[in-house]
């Protein structure tokens, strides 16, 4: 099955015995309005790990804890219990700049107050490497150019950020994250505002980057079928708990998915061996 994506061979060749890059062990977290009140939302304990060259999708309905898990992975909060380690170092204990050199997060971008050119935006990804006043070095420019090239956005370099299409903007945001030269690349619903062509294009690109480079990629998404098609493994969250994790075929079980997403679903297996989820239509029922 892995041969089809061209990933398995590479992974086996480069890191047969390597420790997992990212280790999430029994990590849990709780939000509450004040210090004393009862928690409003609890996550975990969650456990999974991720290796180099792996693309992992985090799935789950709204309010299942995906964003919380992502915040923990990005080092924005320390887990209440358990441990999240990147190459053996606990993420929440990393200094902010070191963390930004290792972990990049792609979010829906905020609205820009003042117009910014694409290259200025991408160069921001070099911030964690800068010195005192952070004038960009030759190397920074080279890395930013490299990052733009990797997402196929060289031509957009001199355009204004607010004049890009949704797909172009998403690529530029990804380029800024790549300019951080991260080990761990986190994406928060990157396909949200893209049409189906844009979604497939983005995931192909991620797949390719994951295979060719040493990134470990984690994607939070609602796209069951795209996740099944492009992910090595799936982490399925439900009501703050990690329900299942494993390959798409292991996780995509009809009863489980129906319970989690509260919709009548069918799961079948495609010729590639990857599962496919369809809505059980009323005309067949």
Q: List contacts with other proteins (CB under 8 A).
A: 74, 76, 87-89, 94-105, 107, 109-110, 112-116, 119-121, 123-125, 127-128, 130, 133-136, 140-146, 149, 154, 157-158, 160, 178, 180-181, 183, 213-215
Nearer to other proteins, 48 or 129 (CB): 129
Nearer to other proteins, 50 or 265 (CB): 50
Nearer to other proteins, 61 or 145 (CB): 145
Q: Which two tokens stand for residue 116?
A: 């910014």
> Smallest distance, Å, CB 182 to other proteins?
9
> Smallest distance, Å, CB 122 to other proteins?
9
> Smallest distance, Å, CB 22 to other proteins?
13
CA dist 189 and 50 (Å) reads 19
Residue 99: count of CB within 10 angstroms of its CB: 21
> Smallest distance, Å, CB 231 to other proteins?
21
> Smallest distance, Å, CB 146 to other proteins?
6
Nearer to other proteins, 85 or 242 (CB): 85
Nearer to other proteins, 102 or 233 (CB): 102
> Smallest distance, Å, CB 211 to other proteins?
12
Asked if 45 and 81 touch (Cβ cutoff 8 Å), the reply is yes
> Smallest distance, Å, CB 34 to other proteins?
10
Nearer to other proteins, 122 or 260 (CB): 122
Nearer to other proteins, 215 or 252 (CB): 215
């Amino acid at each position: 099955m892995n041969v089809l994506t061209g990933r398995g061979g590479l992974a086996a060749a480069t890191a047969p015995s390597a420790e997992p890059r990212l280790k999430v062990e029994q990590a849990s977290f709780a939000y509450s309005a004040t210090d004393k009140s009862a928690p409003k939302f609890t996550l975990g304990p969650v456990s999974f790990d991720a290796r180099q060259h792996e693309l992992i999708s985090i799935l789950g309905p709204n309010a299942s804890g995906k964003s919380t898990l992502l915040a923990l992975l990005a080092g924005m909060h320390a887990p209440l219990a358990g441990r999240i380690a990147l190459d053996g170092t606990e993420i929440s204990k990393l200094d902010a700049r070191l963390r930004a050199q290792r972990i990049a997060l792609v979010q829906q971008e905020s609205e820009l107050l003042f117009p910014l050119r694409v290259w200025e935006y991408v160069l921001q990804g070099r911030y964690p490497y800068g010195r005192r006043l952070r004038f960009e070095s030759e190397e920074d420019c080279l890395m930013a150019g490299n990052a733009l090239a990797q997402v196929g956005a060289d031509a957009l370099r001199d355009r204004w950020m607010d004049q890009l299409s949704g797909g172009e903007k998403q690529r530029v945001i990804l380029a800024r994250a790549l300019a951080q030269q991260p080990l761990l690349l986190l994406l928060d619903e990157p396909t949200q505002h893209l049409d189906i062509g844009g979604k497939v294009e983005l995931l192909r690109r991620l797949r390719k980057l994951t295979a060719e480079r040493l990134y470990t990629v984690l994607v939070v998404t609602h796209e069951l079928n795209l996740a099944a098609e492009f992910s090595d493994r799936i982490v399925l969250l439900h009501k703050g708990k990690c329900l299942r994790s494993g390959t798409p075929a292991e996780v995509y079980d009809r009863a489980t998915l129906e319970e989690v997403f509260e919709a009548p679903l069918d799961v079948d297996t495609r010729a590639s061996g990857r599962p496919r989820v369809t809505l059980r239509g009323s005309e067949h029922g």
